Amino acid sequence: MKITFKDVGQGDSIILEWEKAGIKKIGIIDCNKKGKLNPVLEHLKILDIEEIDFIILSHPHADHFSGMIDLLNYAESKSIKIKKFAHTLFLLGKDFYKYLNWVEIDTAALEDLQKLVQRTEDLKKSGIILKVSPIIEGWREDLATDIYLKCLSPGQDEATVYMEIVNGEPEKNRKAASSGANYLSTLFCLVKNDNYFLLTSDSELLTFERLLKEKSHEELLEKSLYIGQMPHHGASKNYHKPFWDHVIKTDERHAIASAGENAKYKHPHFEVLNNFYNDGYKIHCTSPYHGSKEFLDHLIELRRLSNQLDSFSTLIDSYTAGDKVFQ
């Protein structure tokens, strides 16, 4: 199993690659453009594939789907079958498209989302997409004998909060309605044997509080966390320390923040990176901006003050931006 967190600036794009019965497989979670580049599409072009096992839209925000139409167009042009296109919008009911007016403030982004929904429907009819699948808590995709992808969120609690937001005159507070779409974010557990990766997209605090309280997923109780994606690009408001303290962790563990040069949000936040670091995680960031730059400066200062020169030197030397690949 190979997992790549693509450097797409402020946003998410994750590529999973594995083998099953000697056949190469690929799955994609989110597809964001970085300027005029489409890193996921460029990654796909160098692979000789005839089929994509799944493409998942974690939630309807542009920094997670801006490159997806181009990806679908490429698949159609090369007759690449997409076995499954999956998203969480069905959680809102069969008329989910009625709520798309509130998930983005930017008009162009809303138009792109509507085009994406229409494009998936068209490709389903033409046979390029074989199935359009709803994602909700408990959804599971078996990738190989010892590997599966399981959705831990969103569930009914997240859907209820989102519906309360958009049913409360969202046109008067478009910002809150747009931000509320984060409650539709997927939170995946990618499990291989006794270890797992936690892929959090923009999951809200409510989700981590709920999972900690319910203790309803055996993965979080019995298996060990190897890689944790920092939720919402390393935002402090999405970091729930009791949750991360509670989960069982491997001796070698990693935390990754996917973020970019966005002056409004300034992700990732230094305090989140430092909390993970102090909890024994190796830190990885796809960008050198904001909190990740502060954290590097912090490491340099630690090296100056510490007797562990070699240890900190190695860590600092490996602390570079770009794609993050784990095998």
What average pLDDT does this structure show over 52-70?
A: 97
The pLDDT value recorded for residue 218 is 96
- Could you tell me the CA-to-CA distances from 96 to 60, 163, 184, 308 in Å, in that order? 11, 11, 12, 55
Which tokens go with 156? 């009914």
Number of C-beta neighbours around residue 303 at 10 A: 17
**Does the pLDDT at position 91 exceed 60?**
yes
- The single residue listed with the structure tokens 């909890």 is 279
Q: Residue 26 in contact with residue 143, Cβ under 8 Å?
A: no
pLDDT digits (tens, 9 = 90+) for 164-205: 888 776 677 778 888 999 999 999 999 999 999 999 999 999
What average pLDDT does this structure show over 29-46?
A: 97
* 66 CB burial (10 A radius; 0-12, 13-18, 19+): buried
Distance between CA atoms of residues 32 and 63, nearest Å: 5
Q: Which of 28, 177, 13, 37 is nearest to 104 (CA)?
A: 177
pLDDT digits (tens, 9 = 90+) for 121-165: 999 999 999 999 999 999 999 999 999 999 999 999 999 998 888
- Could you tell me the CA-to-CA distances from 169 to 102, 166, 176 in Å, in that order? 10, 7, 11
The pLDDT value recorded for residue 307 is 62
Is domain 2-326 classified as CATH 3.40.50.1460?
A: no
pTM of the model: 0.95
**What residue segments make up the domains of the chain, in order of their start?**
2-326
